[in-house]
Amino acid sequence: MRQNKIPQATAKRLPLYYRYLNNLNRQGKKRVSSKELSEAIKVDSATIRRDFSYFGALGKKGYGYNVEYLLGFFRSTLDQHETTEVALIGVGNLGTAFLNYNFTKNNNIQIKMAFDSDEEKIGQIVGGVPVYGIDEMMERIEGISVAILTVPVSEADVITEKLVKAGIEGILNFTPVRITVPEDVRVHHIDLAVELQALVYFLKHYPLQSK
Amino acid sequence: MRQNKIPQATAKRLPLYYRYLNNLNRQGKKRVSSKELSEAIKVDSATIRRDFSYFGALGKKGYGYNVEYLLGFFRSTLDQHETTEVALIGVGNLGTAFLNYNFTKNNNIQIKMAFDSDEEKIGQIVGGVPVYGIDEMMERIEGISVAILTVPVSEADVITEKLVKAGIEGILNFTPVRITVPEDVRVHHIDLAVELQALVYFLKHYPLQSK
DNA sequence: GAAATGTCGTGATTATTTTCACATATAATT
DNA sequence: AATTATATGTGAAAATAATCACGACATTTC
């Protein structure tokens, strides 16, 4: 379970590979080469082969990769056989977008419950997920190890503290706040304003074409 | 304008620095050290010093950095003196979240217009931004160089093609589709399902604490 | 069944990024 | 004024990641 040898950069690409293989499989494709994959997902073909090779020799020379086999392999590598249950905190626009996203289609990830402090929202079912009051969070969240944080900035720190107390292990943080957690809690940040500004910066300072 | 020497990894962190310096300045803080910054934004202090040093000697030994000076410096580096106008395509939950996000507060980025194909939404003002029909996009978008793409998967390719024809230079793509564009158009992907699945993978395979 | 073609897996190389660690300079203290 | 504490900027090293390029082998074609 903890064969910690795969580079982080590779690990980040695995879900991407997995989803595309799923697509191919649905389309009934039987084989695929690193070159084809490369064109579809915009990752250098040598990088793809290298990535796959960390898991052993999954392909066949002169043929490519067997889609079904590869898919099955990634399914178990990405623990897709067991469903990961997730909680979402903050049912605003962004939170609602997540609730309506069907993660279970490609990934065995399921948002099991959501929390909000707005009386209007409590008790509703959004995207098939029940919304509870924040005050119920501590009891209800037990057994869930991953949280998506889509609350306003002002709430971020307080909620994070509660999540940590409730034993959460991973947080996908969409607030601009760099939340503070014990070192055994993993936080991934997605900062929408930063991403947008970075794109603008790259546009002005890193001309493409010539490259 | 094109002193292409700053590492990409550094460039991606600039907006983060900028926002935090803004916060400090608002709080009336006069000085800050790389160590303080490091604790706040969770980036190694040596990395911060190195990042800053690409722009010259911005600090003072034994003192740290002058917040106002540094802020002013980044403001011009990040082109914050001029407003960047952006269009958003797809006013669903995710799109609406963006429209309600006040980018202008910290960043001189303004979503100037939005597009959707839903008759219900056309003509509305969401978060202060007018929503037009997709069919008006080609005319209206002229002069805008950045687009945020928050449409359903099925629309992604068609809309992208239109955006490219309309002369867009950068796309912040939230669809899982790896859109195809000419090489002089810059695309940044943010794939929510991939991010979530990557977090889950890291949790299971990259134990923290010990590290 | 021989020749041509295709594609993997990987050693070696190169590029990029992070981190260490310390000389150097400023600021604070006594 | 001397001493101590602080914090930068950066050379050098280490870590991480991407890419090249080719031998080996499977598949396809003739």
Q: Which domains does chain A have, with CATH numbers?
A: 3-76 (1.10.10.10), 84-194 (3.40.50.720)
Q: How confident is the model at residue B1 (pLDDT cuts 50, 70, 90)?
A: very low
Beta-carbon separation of A193 and B101 below 8 A: yes
pLDDT at position A209? 61
Alpha carbon distance B194, B192 (integer Å):
5
Answer yes or no: are the C-beta atoms of B116 and B133 closer than 8 Å: yes
Q: Distance, in angstroms, between B78 CA and closest chain A CA?
A: 6
> What residues approach strand C to within 7 A at the CB?
A 33-35, 45-46, 49-50, 52-53, 57-65; B 7-10, 44, 46-47, 49-50, 60-63
pLDDT band for B3, please (50, 70, 90 cuts): low
Contact B200, A109 (CB under 8 A): yes
pLDDT surpasses 50 at B211 = no
Range B68-103 burial, b when 16+ CB lie within 10 A, else e = eebbebbeebbbbeeebbbbbbbbbbbbbbbbebeb
Check residue B209 and give its pLDDT.
60
From edge to edge, which strands make up the β-sheet containing A129-133?
A125-126, A129-133, A109-116, A84-89, A146-149, A170-173, A186-189
In angstroms, how far is the first alpha carbon of chain A from the final one? 41
Per-residue pLDDT tens over the stretch B141-165: 999 999 999 999 999 999 999 999 9
Q: How do residues A16-54 score in pLDDT, each as one tens digit?
A: 999 999 999 999 999 999 999 999 999 999 999 999 999
Residue A206 has pLDDT above 80, yes or no: yes
**Contact across the interface for B15 and A194, Cβ inside 8 Å:** yes
Compute the distance between CA of residue A48 and CA of residue A13 in angstroms, rounded to an integer.
9
| Residue A21 pLDDT | 95
Q: What is the DSSP letter of B127?
A: T
Q: Is the pLDDT of residue B210 over 60?
A: no
Q: If pLDDT is split at 50, 70 and 90, which confidence band does A94 have?
A: very high
CA A33 / C1′ D27 distance in Å = 13
pLDDT at B80: 82
pLDDT tens-digit map of A151-203: 999 999 999 999 999 999 999 999 999 999 998 999 999 999 999 999 999 99
Calculate the average pLDDT of chain B. Answer: 93
Residue of B54, B93, B103, B206 to mutate when probing chain A, most A C-beta within 10 A = B93
Residue B126 and residue A79: Cα distance in Å, rounded? 40
Helix pair B45-53, B8-26: axis angle to 10 deg: 100
Using 50, 70 and 90 to split pLDDT, how confident is the model at A210?
very low
**Does an H or E element contain A86, and which?**
strand A84-89
What's the confidence (pLDDT) of residue B4? Answer: 58
CB B200 within 8 A of CB A110: no
Which residues have a Cβ under 8 Å from the Cβ of A146 and sit 6 or more positions away?
Answer: A84, A85, A86, A87, A168, A169, A170, A171, A172, B196, B199, B200, B203
Strands A129-133 and A109-116: parallel
pLDDT at A5: 81
Q: Is B28 assigned to a binding site?
A: no
Residue A19 in tokens: 């989803």
A3 vs B50, higher pLDDT: B50
Q: Which nucleotides of C are covered by protein (CB under 7 A)?
A: 5-11, 16-21, 23-27
From CA B81, how far away is CA B79, in angstroms rounded? 5
Between B194 and B107, whose confidence is greater? B194
**Which residues of chain A have a CB within 8 Å of the CB of B7?**
none
Nearest neighbour of B208 by CB, restricted to A86, A97, A186: A186
Q: What is the DSSP letter of A83?
A: P
Task: Give the residue carrying structure tokens 């410096």.
Answer: B73
Q: For residue A80, is pLDDT > 90? A: no
Q: Which residues contact A87 (CB under 8 A, 6 or more apart)?
A: A111, A112, A113, A114, A115, A137, A140, A141, A144, A146, A147, A148
User: Distance (Å) from CA A47 to C1' D26?
Assistant: 22
Chain B from 38 to 77: CB within 8 A of any A CB: 40-42
Residues with CB under 7 A from strand D: A 7-10, 44, 46-47, 49-50, 60-63; B 33-35, 45-46, 49-50, 52-53, 57-65
Cβ distance of A188 and B199 shorter than 8 Å: yes
At B114, the pLDDT band (50, 70, 90 cuts) reads: very high
On the question of pLDDT at B177 being above 70, the answer is: yes
Interchain contact B97–A (C-beta under 8 A): yes
Locate the chain A residue with the closest alpha carbon to B12.
A198
Helices (H), chain B: 8-26, 34-41, 45-53, 67-77, 93-99, 103-106, 137-140, 153-165, 192-205
Name the average pLDDT for chain A: 93
Residue B102's pLDDT band (boundaries 50, 70, 90)?
confident
Does the annotation flag B167 for ligand binding? no
pTM score, whole prediction: 0.94
Partner residue opposite B194 with nearest CB, options A16, A193, A199:
A16
Q: Do A98 and B200 count as a contact with CB atoms less than 8 A apart?
A: no
